[in-house]
Amino acid sequence: MPNIPASSRPDGDPRYTLASLLAPPQLVRLAAIGAVVGAVAASFAWTGGFFSPDRLDQTRMIDAFEAANGPHPGFRRNHAKGVCLEGYFDSNGAGARLSKAEVFQPGRVPVFGRFALAGGLPMIPDGPTIVRSMALNFSLPDGEAWRTGMNDIPVFPLRTPQAFYDQLVAAKPDPKTGRPDPQLLAAFQAAYPETVRATAVIRAHGFSSGFANATYNGLDAFLFTSAAGTTTPVRWSMEPVDAFAPAAAAPTADRNYLFDALIARVHDAPAKWHLILTVGQPGDPTDDATQPWPPERERIDAGVLSVTRIVAEGDGNCRDINFDPLVLPDGIAPSDDPLLSARSAAYSTSFTRREGETKIPSAIQTARRP
Amino acid sequence: MTRHFSLLSRLLHWLMAILILAMLFIGVAMVSSLSDYHRLVSIHKPLGILILILVAIRLVNRLFNPAPSLPAGMPAALRFTAHASHWLLYALMFALPLVGWGMLSAAGYPIVLIGLLHLPPILPHDAGLYAALRPLHTVLAFVLFATFLAHLGAALMHAVVFRDGVFQSMTR
């Protein structure tokens, strides 16, 4: 058929009629068009993982948290029990040697964040060996932010997202006994020897007696880029000014004794931590948070974090913030640690789910205190 | 009477076609990938703002350089569908980046484009707003992809079935 501009034809051009479309040569062309459109649609579905429902993605990861802990609408799927913190960070300028990020220039930046207990149970009683966490948002000029989530353990027990998922499945309480299946746990430990090694390091390290005298470690490695363009692997920690005291063997009768002690401590005077940057050397693992770096690595004290106020979770405060570890300022970039992108993805899914759910008051309330 | 789109219109059309298709594939990939999530989100945000800037330029261009008229013999129902689908595409090209920007604002995220380049929030930090806008972003993206498929199918119909010069109006 010649390619004649249709505008030169009279109204009721026959080429648009159904009868002409159903002529055999046109049917072949229509089928070809259908195949092209179908192929594009199928590649889109494939890219979105619609054909691989068993692949571990953020949806399955957060589903595993919900399956392990039960439904707790409105709360974080992990680190569910927590309280908001407010304060500031006084940089001494020492970190600027490693990173051009504004936060390391000398001066003060406002900080907010959250103290929490690891795990997906928002009403769990405080306990001496539950991992404690500190999440922070440094509010930098021009809308920039640095967010970090740190734990009071020296290494992370899991190296990959798959290990994290497999542990959630293995440690899920058996509905009959209320305890994890020992066979599943043994199989998990056999599959992930690095977790067994890291757990031994964590046990040997021990826990402190409270939130205010705990060291919080970023655990994952990041890449710092200086103003001169030099890139250095770094792990960071918040080391307390309050002296370490070992955790009591058993919890007290107060279900919230750790949080209540923190609230009282900060009410008396700001609680403080030094931001310690540990400088990695070539060969130090940046893709394996289960491995400690050698203890002799250079440590730079970049400044002091002061926590001046503890506030219950509520509308628009730390409750409604995703402490995504990849919200980073210019001058800090992710390393090749596979946990980082996975944390960012899974936190986002957890955040989206909980923000759409009806909220109930958190376990830790501060309103009655002056 | 003009038979084809202006050079600027054709440039904007094909550039945005590539960017939007890439954007849709990046979007659907990143929400189902743990390992590539961060890499893809880091492209998704600045690319979305680039598309928002381009569609604003394109709308102004469209007002100054109108589209060539459709073939006189085209039935009224097809003409209506063609016009409606084009305005739907324009609406979605504006809506998706704006909803994306709005939902990041409502979530309290810093809106990073590249390096130190940041955008201000366009909505207050509000859990309910985020909870409404985040799924809306997904729904609109699927509507855009479906509209794109219809647009692709229709373009190929004009090219090889109707052979009425409409496809060529955008290719030369």
pLDDT in tens, A349-360: 999 999 999 999
- Which has the closest alpha carbon to A202: A156, A158, A247? A156
Is B1 inside a domain boundary? Answer: no
Query: pLDDT at position A1, please?
Result: 39
Instruction: Give catalytic residues of A, as residue numbers.
Output: 79
Cβ proximity of A277 and A299 under 8 Å: yes
For residue B145, tell me if it sits in a domain.
yes
Contact criterion met (CB < 8 Å) for A6 and B3: no
Residue A299 pLDDT exceeds 80: yes
pLDDT in tens, A234-244: 999 999 999 99
Lowest-confidence segment of A60-69, A153-162, A177-186 by average pLDDT: A177-186
Distances (CA, A) of B26 to B20, B33, B41, B55, B56: 10, 10, 8, 19, 22
Q: Write out chain A residues lying below 8 Å of B35, CB-based.
A: 161, 338, 341-342
Closest CA to A159 of A297, A325, A342: A342
Of B28, B71, B115, the CB nearest to A330: B115
Nearest to A6 among B41, B73, B111 (CB): B73
Query: Residue A252: pLDDT band by 50, 70, 90 thresholds?
Result: confident
Residue A32 lies in a domain: no
What pLDDT is stored for residue B96 in this prediction?
98
Containing domain of residue B164, as a range?
7-171
- Closest-CA residue of B relative to A22 is B161
Residue B172 pLDDT grade (very low, low, confident, very high; cuts 50, 70, 90):
confident
Taking CA atoms, A55 is separated from A67, A351, B85, in Å, by 17, 21, 36
Name residues whose C-beta falls within 8 Å of residue B70's C-beta, 6 or more positions apart in sequence.
B79, B82, B166
| pLDDT over 90 (residue B4) | no
Contacts for A192 with CB less than 8 Å, ≥ 6 apart? A158, A159, A163, A166, A167
- Collect all residues of chain B within an 8 Å Cβ-Cβ radius of residue A112: none
User: Mean pLDDT, chain A, as a whole number?
Assistant: 94
pLDDT computed for residue A153 by the predictor: 98
DSSP structure string for A159-185: SSHHHHHHHHHHTSBPTTTSSB-HHHH
As a whole number of angstroms, the distance between CA A82 and CA A79 comes to 7
Cα B147 to Cα B136: distance, rounded to the nearest angstrom = 16
Residue B2, pLDDT score: 61
Token pair in block for residue B46: 């600045």
Based on its alpha-carbon atoms, the radius of gyration of chain A, rounded to whole angstroms, reads: 27
- What's the confidence (pLDDT) of residue B150? 97
> Rounded distance, CA B135 to CA B123, Å?
16
Instruction: Classify residue A7: in a domain, yes or no.
Output: no
Per the domain annotation, does A25 fall within a domain? no
The predicted pLDDT at position A2 comes to 44
CB-CB under 8 Å, B110 with A143: yes
CATH for B121: 1.20.950
DSSP H/E element including B19: helix B7-30
What residues contact B106, with CB distance under 8 A and at least 6 apart? Answer: B123, B124, B125, B126, B127, B129, B130, B133
Residue recorded with tokens 């290990």: A163
**Predicted pLDDT of residue B157:** 95
- Asked, for residue B152, whether it belongs to a domain, the answer is yes
Q: Which domain holds residue A178?
A: 58-355
Handedness of CA A115, A117, A120, A122 (dihedral sign): negative
The answer as to whether A71 is a domain residue is yes
Is the pLDDT at A139 greater than 70? The verdict is yes
Distance in angstroms (rounded) separating the CA atoms of residues A309 and A267: 7
d(CA A221, CA A333): 9
Best interface-test mutation with B: which of A1, A15, A139, A223 has the largest number of B CBs within 10 A? A15
Q: Is the dihedral of CA A49, A50, A56, A61 positive or negative?
A: positive
Query: What is the mean predicted confidence (pLDDT) over A85-110?
Result: 98
Cβ A327–B153 below 8 Å, yes or no?
no
Q: How many CB atoms lie within 10 A of CB B63?
A: 8
pLDDT at A226: 98
Stretch A93-117: mean pLDDT: 98
In a domain, B38, yes or no: yes
Contacts of residue B110 in chain A, CB cutoff 8 Å? 143-145, 327
Query: What's the average model confidence in pLDDT over A167-190?
Result: 91
Answer yes or no: is A10 within a domain.
Answer: no
B2 occurs within a structural domain: no
Instruction: Identify whether A190 is part of a domain.
Output: yes
Task: Give mean pLDDT, residues B51-79.
Answer: 94
Contact criterion met (CB below 8 Å) for B145 and A44:
yes
Share of chain B above pLDDT 90, in %: 92
Say if residue A214's pLDDT is above 80: yes
The string of DSSP codes covering B119-147 is E--SS---HHHHHHHHHHHHHHHHHHHHH
- Tokens 């205190």 locate to A369
Q: For position A7, what pLDDT does the model report?
A: 47
Query: Which residues of chain A lie closer than 8 angstroms to B163, CB-CB?
Result: 1-4, 15
| pLDDT at res. A11 | 55
Q: Is the pLDDT of residue B87 over 80?
A: yes
When divided into structural domains, chain B yields a total of 1
Mean pLDDT, residues B61-85 taken together = 93
Of A352, A312, A334, the closest CA to residue A81 belongs to: A312
pLDDT value for A3: 52
Contact A33 B157 (CB under 8 A): yes
pLDDT of A291 above 90:
yes
Residue B34 has pLDDT above 60, yes or no: yes
Q: Which stretches of A317-365 are DSSP H helices? A: 338-355
Residue B123 in domain? yes
Q: Which stretch of DSSP H or E encloses residue B48?
A: helix B37-64
Query: What are B51's two structure tokens?
Result: 């598309």
What is the distance of C-alpha A103 from the center of its chain? 21
Q: Tens of pLDDT along A2-42?
A: 455 544 455 578 889 888 888 999 999 999 999 999 999 99
Write down the residue that tokens 């998706």 correspond to.
Answer: B96
In contact, A326 and B109? CB cutoff 8 Å? no
How far apart are alpha carbons B30 and A300 in whole angstroms?
36
Look up residue B10 and give its two tokens.
């054709």
- Average of per-residue pLDDT across A185-194: 96
Whole-angstrom Cα distance, residue A262 to residue B86? Answer: 59
For helices A161-170 and A338-355, angle between their N-to-C axes, nearest 10 degrees: 60
**CATH number of the domain to which A105 belongs:** 2.40.180.10
Write down the pLDDT at residue A253: 87
Place of tokens 């109108």: B66
In-domain check, residue A323: yes
Number of domains in chain A: 1
Question: How far apart, in Å, are the Cα atoms of B134 and each of A72, B24, B120, B125, B148?
Answer: 21, 15, 18, 13, 21
